[in-house]
Structure 1
């Protein structure tokens, strides 16, 4: 008979994984690599947005995050509204049951404590609160690992995020701004650490940008409509972003530069299509990427990168390609500063194609020096993430923790 001490530790991973966002999936990939290297005995499964994709791509069992399949569609009819409402109750029971089957649950990276993009409180913030509350009630250790956070104006969202963070067993952040944001919400962050984004732990493809005349430029686009506070102006912000980015791409083509359009989420595809329609040139092509590894391979072959999505920036910086950020949130500015490229940020909500082109030309003039800076900063990030994973093991996998909480005999 197997004793409790011989049972494998049961680890769950949680989040909007397998849902089309390459950054979220890259964070999951980094955590799975850590678990397989340091805790190969662990039995791992997921509660996530796209269970079929997570299972086929990463080889772990996965369960759908929401009972109601239309959770992220706007509900206008009575049936859909009722389905969403019932789904909230069902999800509370489903989440609690799933959490109880685990010894440890990890939320790998992602901006789970922020609302820098449009976000409803009863969507993911509610799901995260259910997770953390269930963990506290069941005695399951819940870890928010390398997550992003930001100030939140919505009172309900802010309350859900605050309590999620307070109820978690372990917290670490991908930048100091995130830790400061949680401290401002009243969360005790005295023991919380800051580390580079988890995606910096992924394998790095070898740079392959050819020497000689100016080569390709990767332009990472985003279906950008402003922040959660910009809903009334969302279409105006989106049109300004698209027009400015399109003018920039057209200017590159007029200079004879090949342009590769990249996405970071499936929702970005209409932006790529709009730019291809507006700039019908054989110099402009769209890359088909389904992972951060494929994104990095594209960026390693480029002379320069101009990108909007946070994890597009991470990929470009990680492979050492000079990068200009179309920044939509403070997290992008903080990332660029950490990697020594603070001067190369441009506001996504006010894209000025002429000024952007000037910044881009300055970036390319300093290319050799910036590549050396990125080599040095990446070595620092690599060492810091090794410490992140060592700290995570100490916090979540101590020897006593190998006896599953729910397998322990009850006190008489």
Structure 2
């Protein structure tokens, strides 16, 4: 795949990648798989949160997203505040210079157009705006591929998100509510498509004999403190979530069920530790997952999954395990509806252990039927993502040789 001048196409990937969030890295892995299959001659590198991890894990050169290494730490001293402010100026120059070296930059999945978790405008929203504005200035096509979006209460965050989306050369979303949210913010979405989350394009681990204990339940947990508009109640929300989850796990153990705790980000570890400490039982163990492939293996070995993090849900659904979502955002409910399990959602802000247990037992009662439903929905997701990648090739690489492009599935 080469443009008219005969040189390989230069593709950048951008985002909070390699920073400890398994879902973000899974989206990157899916896009790299597409590029290697459809455009194997492309030269790929990253501007990301964890460059060392990205290079070691995926074998591509990577540059740190922010010049100031303390970007996501709270700055209280004058020196740190000044350094952070200087970093914003330096990042404007760095981002433009990096974008200029590429023909195409892809932002792979992730909730880059939402604020369902606490978010400051001058953190990632500013970084994304710099990328999209730089792309327009230097003539580099920026593509937001399979991203998540949601209504945003904070005016500065909402403005930066709207500007970023409007400046991008290509947009697609992982669910219909994301596209609706961007339309409500004033972005013209008439040509934007909706496809399943990019993680559904990842390989599914080969089927094998169950490796977990009989009756095992995977419980995916999260350091949940509410969203961007809940900062004043963050600790109250977290305590209620944690207490309800502990009660639910304890009830499973009292029924003799082995419980395997899952997380999806390094920040979730204290939650796992708190549950292990509160429910002191050999029936409760914690998984050490380093990728979505690891999470898929864990969820495939379970009879049932109850999970909060979005990509914990995806992994469980993708391997066909009946799943109950402890939902903290509309994206989880949209995902469950897409996969035919919309009846099995429980609010993360108001975890009621008794009600959660009722829903869990109903889920298990209909397990065989739900496994059949998931098999059908997963085939549909795979076909839709094949179409996504075909459309992406046509949109981003119109002047290239498409001999290696993926064929669109019937």
Shorter-chain TM-score: which interval? over 0.9
Q: For 1:363 and 1:304, how far apart are their aligned partners in 2?
A: 8
Distance 1:77 1:354, change over 3 A: same
Match of 2:200 in 1: 200
Q: Distance in 2 between matches of 1:53 and 1:3?
A: 30
| 1:406 alignment partner in structure 2 | none
Deviation of 1:6 (Å): 1.5
Which residue does the alignment assign to 1:125?
A: 125
Q: Which residue of 1 aligns with 2:176?
A: 176
Task: Number of aligned residue pairs: give it.
Answer: 401
Residue aligning to 2:406? none
1:357 aligns with 2:357: yes
Distance 1:385 1:43, change over 3 A: same
Q: Relative to structure 1, is the Cα distance of residues 322 and 7 closer, same or farther in structure 2, using a 3 angstrom cutoff?
A: same
Quote the offset at 1:205 in angstroms.
Answer: 1.4
Tell me, in whole angstroms, the C-alpha distance in 2 between the residues paired with 1:373 and 1:354.
27
Equivalent residue, structure 2, for 1:325:
325
Structure 2 match to 1:103: 103
Distance 1:212 1:73 in 2: 39
- What's the TM-score once normalised by structure 2's chain length? 0.96
2: CA distance, partners of 1:401 / 1:380: 29
2:44 is aligned to 44
2:296 — aligned with what?
296
Cα distance between partner residues in 2 of 1:283 and 1:60: 41
> Are positions 1:235 and 2:232 aligned together?
no
Assess if the C-alpha contact under 8 Å between 1:107 and 1:145 holds in 2.
Answer: yes
Q: Give the conservation status (yes or no) of the 8 Å contact 1:133–1:167.
A: yes
The C-alpha deviation readout for 1:220-262, integer Å capped at 9, x for no partner, is 0000000000000000000000000000000001111110000
Q: What secondary structure, in the 3-state scheme, does the structure 2 residue paired with 1:44 have?
A: strand
CA drift at 1:209? 6.5
Kept after mapping to 2: 8 A contact 1:209/1:303: no
Match runs of 1:113-262 below 5 Å: 113-208=113-208, 210=210, 215-262=215-262
* Cα displacement (A) at 1:343: 0.4
Residue of structure 1 in register with 2:83 after alignment: 83
CA contact (8 A) 1:209 1:300 kept: no
RMSD: 1.6
CA contact (8 A) 2:106 2:145 kept: yes
In 2, are the aligned partners of 1:205 and 1:297 still within 8 Å (CA)?
yes
Q: Is the 8 A contact 2:253 2:259 kept in 1?
A: yes
Give the CA deviation at 1:140.
0.3
Q: Relative to 1, partners in 2 of residues 1:114 and 1:3: Cα closer, same or farther, differing over 3 Å?
A: closer
Deviation at 1:5, TM superposition (A): 2.2
For residues 238 and 50 of structure 1, what CA distance do their matches in structure 2 show? 27
Find the counterpart in structure 2 of residue 347 from structure 1: 347
SS at structure 2 position matched to 1:225 = coil
Does structure 2 retain, via aligned residues, the 8 Å contact 1:14–1:46? yes
Counterpart in the other structure of 2:408: none
Partners of 2:254 and 2:210 lie apart in 1 by 21
Q: What is the rounded CA distance, in whole Å, between the counterparts of 2:266 and 2:376 in structure 1?
A: 33
SS in structure 1 of the partner of residue 5 of structure 2: helix
Q: CA deviation at 1:208?
A: 4.4
- 1:281: which partner in 2? 281
Going from structure 1 to structure 2, the CA distance change for 1:216 and 1:5 (only over 3 Å counts) comes to same
Alignment of 1:46-65 (within 5 A): 46-65=46-65
CA contact (8 A) 1:128 1:164 kept: yes
Query: Is contact 2:219-2:262 (8 Å) kept?
Result: yes
Judged with a 3 Å threshold, the aligned counterparts in structure 2 of structure 1 residues 67 and 16 are, in CA distance, closer, same or farther, namely: same
- SS at 2:45's partner residue? strand
In 2, the alpha carbon distance for the partners of 1:245 and 1:50 equals 31
SS of the aligned residue for 1:5 comes to: coil
Query: 1:346: how far off?
Result: 0.2
Q: Aligned partners of 2:192 and 2:209: how far apart in 1?
A: 39
Question: Aligned partners of 1:3 and 1:206: how far apart in 2?
Answer: 38
Do 1:209 and 1:302's aligned partners in 2 also have CA atoms closer than 8 Å? no
- Rounded to whole Å, the distance in 1 between the matches of 2:86 and 2:16 is 20
Q: CA deviation at 1:4?
A: 5.9
Note if contact 2:3-2:400 (Cα within 8 Å) is conserved in structure 1: no
Corresponding residue for residue 405 of structure 1: none
Gaps of 5+ in 2: 403-410
SS in 1 for 2:102: coil
